[in-house]
Amino acid sequence: MNKKYLFLAVLLAFSVAIVPCLTAAGNHTGEQAMLDVDIQFLNSYGTTVTNAQGTFYNYYGMTFREDKVYPSQYWGTYALYFFDGPTTINVRVTNKGPRAKAKIRIKTEAYVLRTDGSSGASLMTPRTIDIELAKGETRNIDASFVLPYNPSLESGLDRFLVKVLHINEGVSGREPGLIMVKEGVYCPPEYIKK
């Protein structure tokens, strides 16, 4: 009977210690410290301010208010862009080391940010670029896009996501492992057609 309990104890120890490691094998979150990723919104037409009183669009010397209140982590001042115009975004990636080379995939996505903090409609086709950075090297990636006017899209904040993935070389068909996700927030105001 002792052998039976010993076997169960070993099985339990294995499942507690080893199985979680196997299920997390695809992520490379330990590599976060070696990379610096910065999202820069450039050439905006104005600013959007969000707080407990709502959302305020400031452009061309005017301010417009909307009764949209976002979760407090999204209160702040953000770049404002218009539909049918360029949303100019630079993604700056640096290999801080200690590895001599970082082979990574950058994937960009954009979504409507709902007032509950969740993602709404997709605003662009996700784009990917594979890069290799030497230790100490910085690369600027143009992630700009034009959002065509669509009457079904909401005004207010939008989220721009940069997913940094570790490219798995030598393993055919294996998806790159996630290193980190960075979020940037920007805003198109309500579109009024003339």
97-135 residue pLDDT tens: 888 999 999 999 999 999 999 999 999 999 999 999 999
Mean pLDDT of 22-51: 80
CATH of domain 29-187: 2.60.40.10
Q: Give the pLDDT mean for 41-45.
A: 96
Take residue 15 and report the two structure tokens written for it.
Answer: 């499942």
Whole-prediction pTM = 0.79
CA 59/CA 62 separation, integer angstroms: 5
Contact 142, 131 (CB under 8 A): no
Most confident of 23-27, 51-55, 177-181: 51-55
